[in-house]
Amino acid sequence: MKKPIFTGAGVAIVTPFGADGKINYPLFAKLIDFQISGGTDAVIVCGTTGESPALNHAEHSELIRFCVEHVSGRVPVIAGTGSNDTAFCLKLSNEAEKSGANGLLMVTPYYNKTSQQGLIDHFTYLADRVSTPIILYNVPSRTGLNILPATYKALSAHPLINAAKEANGDVSALAQTAALCGDDLVLYSGNDDQIVPFMSLGAVGVISVLSNICPKLAHDIAAACLAGDFAEGARLQLEHLDLCNDLFADVNPIPVKEALKLMGWDAGPCRLPLTGINAAAREKLVRALKNHGLI
């Protein structure tokens, strides 16, 4: 049985930018502390929500190093190191390992994409050349590529392919993956609105956007499920479904950065090609934040 890097709710943390367009490290440190004090079970840095595609190589590596150093062992740190360039993915991964990351989050190749056999070859090549557990990241809406259950089964045989963050929204496919892989692959929900159904099928937690603004809530939903109290997990999730949905009323992480700003954390704008939140999405977001007493 593979040991999870973490259980519960890990935050897919935003990358704050200052007025000069550079990474705002003092605010990043405060956001990390806010997360940990709120019960976050892990910090996932340089993921989609962290705008990793808009970070240059030096920024990417330094942000991971800073995050590991500031977290200082309080919770696990998982570093987003995925790329559509296998060689560059390996370079980022080896740098993250040197910084002390507890896990490596690797998204499927995007744009150039590949076949299912290509996925097996890509991830196996990487797993053979790192010493840190890997979380596969499946998000077809971003990459145009979906990992099939049989491919997960093949990959789960590798001792360093530890887990999957499944964000394809397909509960039936997750059930197939869980049935095929059993204890050989740890599963995480990649969508905040599916924490409870995924955990009812064996997932051990979530990599969460919601946690950026509600770390205790995300933690409590996952903790209830881990304790076998799916009724309580469902109650919390359904009570906050509007918030989960409205954090995706525009392209992630546009809404969550706007939410943080409304709550007093000015994480700055997103980098182009992402832009400011559209008016309709902002209206929905403000309403949800007010409904739950966050502003």
Which residues are known catalytic residues? 137, 165
In eight-state DSSP terms, residue 17 is B
Q: Is 74 exposed, middle or buried (0-12, 13-18, 19+ CB in 10 A)?
A: middle
| 198 neighbors 186 (Cβ within 8 angstroms) | no
Q: Are strands 42-45 and 77-80 parallel, antiparallel or unpaired?
A: parallel
Residue spans of alpha helices (H) in the chain? 25-37, 57-71, 86-99, 116-127, 140-143, 149-156, 171-181, 195-200, 215-226, 230-239, 241-246, 254-262, 279-291
Long-range contact set of residues 61-68: C-beta below 8 Å, sequence gap at least 24: 61/92, 61/95, 61/96, 61/99, 62/23, 63/15, 63/23, 63/28, 64/95, 64/96, 64/99, 64/101, 65/99, 66/25, 66/28, 66/29, 67/13, 67/28, 67/32, 67/43, 68/99, 68/100, 68/101
The SS3 assignment for 153 reads helix
| Residues linked to residue 138 through DSSP beta bridges, in sequence order | 166
What gap in Å lies between CA 238 and CA 22, rounded to an integer? 37
| 31 neighbors 12 (Cβ within 8 angstroms) | no
